Amino acid sequence: DMKVAVKVVAVGNGVIGIILGKSSMIQRYCKGIFTKDYEKTIGVDFLQRQIQVNNEDIRLMLWDTAGQDEFDAITKACYRGAQACVLVFSTTDRESFEAISSWREKVVAEVADIPIVLVLNKTDLLDDSCIKNEEAEALAKKLKLRFYRTSVKKDLHVSEVFKYLSEKHLQK
Ligand code: GDP
Ligand code: MG
């Protein structure tokens, strides 16, 4: 079997441009670890993991972006050639929810017609939630995106996100 390689980008930004859990999600998925230590992503980084979907070996290359407010040259270059995208927002960050539509537009402007998934992370912090369930559902519906609720910390539904994107990629 030929190995299929898929370039996946994780995007989204919140009130200070960071802290949604994108880097943590990629680390969790590729290395199986979670750290509380906050480390700001500088520029672009990437990790990979190989999985089997429908009897195909898929090599997922997960690109992690800094997610600055400005769509700067480095971040933008990272989207070029992307074949799937994870749009991340966080339970505890209202601004990250409000920024989703514009992030989606930025990605679509750079790479049209790739599988995109909407991910609400940090669902373990439900007590601090500033986004209503119905609002999140409505956004997913409006943007016609598959919607997952993850907790990278508790390792909930993270692998489903990447499995879904892999399946969509194979269907293309
Ligand atoms: P990024 O800026 O989007 O890449 O976010 P990071 O991956 O650097 O995560 C920012 C902070 O959120 C870190 O302190 C993580 O430990 C924490 N974090 C990430 N995912 C979760 C989660 O699911 N639940 C909780 N409680 N904290 C999380
Ligand atoms: Mg990061």
Residue owning the nearest CA to atom 25 of ligand 1? 122
- Report the sign of the C-alpha dihedral through residues 34, 118, 47, 58, in that order: positive
Distance (angstroms) between ligand 1 centre and the Cα of 122 equals 7
| Cβ of 14 below 6 Å from ligand 1 | no
Global ipTM: 0.98
Q: What are the structure tokens assigned to 2, written together? A: 């030929």
- Predicted confidence at residue 30, as pLDDT, reads 93
Phi and psi, residue 19, nearest 5°:
60, 25
Ion ligand 2: residue ranges with CB closer than 5 A: 22-23, 41
| Cβ of 121 below 6 Å from ligand 1 | yes
- Predicted confidence at residue 17, as pLDDT, reads 46
Q: Using the CB atoms, write b or e for 124-143: b if 16+ within 10 Å.
A: eeeeebebeeeebeebbeee
Distance (angstroms) between ligand 1 centre and the Cα of 151 equals 9
What is the DSSP secondary structure assignment for residue 83, as one 8-state letter? -
List, in order, residues 6 or more apart from 16 with CB less than 8 Å away.
none
State which of 9, 22, 24 you would mutate to test the pocket of ligand 1, scoring each by most atoms of that ligand within 8 A of its C-beta: 24
Distance (angstroms) between ligand 1 centre and the Cα of 56 equals 31
| Cβ of 152 below 6 Å from ligand 1 | yes
Location of structure tokens 């927002």? 89
- Predicted confidence at residue 80, as pLDDT, reads 84
Q: What ranges make up the beta strands (E) of 2-132?
A: 4-11, 44-53, 56-65, 84-90, 116-121
> pLDDT 10s per residue in the chain (172 long)?
457 889 998 888 754 445 788 889 999 999 999 987 766 666 667 899 999 999 999 999 998 876 555 556 766 777 889 999 999 999 999 999 999 998 899 889 889 899 999 999 999 999 989 999 999 999 999 999 999 999 999 999 999 999 999 999 999 8
Pairing of β 4-11 and β 44-53:
unpaired
Distance (angstroms) between ligand 2 centre and the Cα of 90 equals 13
